[in-house]
């Protein structure tokens, strides 16, 4: 059986039941990091793709900007959409346990035990079957998780304690709200 989509793994009897449930059609988008092509003229893009595969600490040291849901297509290729385990709302809010289960299900030995995904992977211009560092999991609630050196890093939405404090202060003080509105409009 050759896969045409990621969800074909859910119909493969060689794939364990727990992984077939995880890989069935759903709303969790799986993005694999594009392969840095040595023939690409854009050296900056090639280096960016390499940096993404080095983990979040490396990226932070280099000052590399991480993808967001709006621009992920530039650095990643959508492998497909899956259900995950349980209801999507339960999975996306449980965070790390969900990404661990998805990561495990997307190891080549489990979802493509006899090379069934080879044509799919090549057809998408990718070079790796197993989920690995720099690959992304995008949940319906907007959360974007990256496979990191050890475990995962939630990279979107970013938490900004200063912005949260300002919003909280504005809610308590109506005058402050008006000041903030004017500041946002530039008046």
Instruction: Spell out the domain ranges in the chain.
Output: 6-156, 160-187
Angle between helices 174-185 and 161-172 (to 10 degrees): 120
**Residue at token pair 């949260």:** 164
Give yes or no for residue 91 having a pLDDT over 60: no
State mean pLDDT over 74-79.
94
Q: Lowest-confidence range among 58-67, 81-90, 118-127, 144-153?
A: 81-90
How far is residue 27's CA from residue 15's CA, in Å, rounded to a whole number? 21
């Amino acid at each position: 059986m050759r896969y045409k989509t990621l969800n074909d793994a859910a119909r493969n009897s060689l794939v364990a039941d727990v992984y077939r449930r995880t890989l069935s059609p759903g709303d969790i988008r799986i993005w694999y990091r594009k392969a840095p092509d040595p023939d690409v003229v854009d050296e900056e893009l090639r280096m960016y793709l390499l940096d993404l595969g080095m983990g979040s600490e490396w990226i932070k040291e280099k000052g590399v900007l991480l993808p967001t849901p709006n621009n992920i297509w530039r650095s990643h290729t959508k492998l497909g959409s899956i259900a995950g385990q349980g209801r999507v709302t339960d999975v996306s809010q449980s965070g790390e346990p969900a990404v661990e289960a998805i990561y495990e299900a997307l190891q080549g030995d489990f979802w493509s035990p006899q090379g069934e995904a080879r044509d799919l992977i090549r057809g998408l211009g990718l070079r790796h079957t197993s989920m690995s560092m720099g690959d992304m999991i995008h949940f319906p609630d907007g959360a974007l998780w990256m496979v990191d050196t050890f475990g995962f890093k939630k990279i979107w939405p970013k938490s900004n304690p200063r912005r949260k404090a300002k919003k909280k202060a504005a809610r308590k003080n109506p005058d402050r709200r008006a000041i903030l509105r004017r500041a946002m409009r530039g008046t």
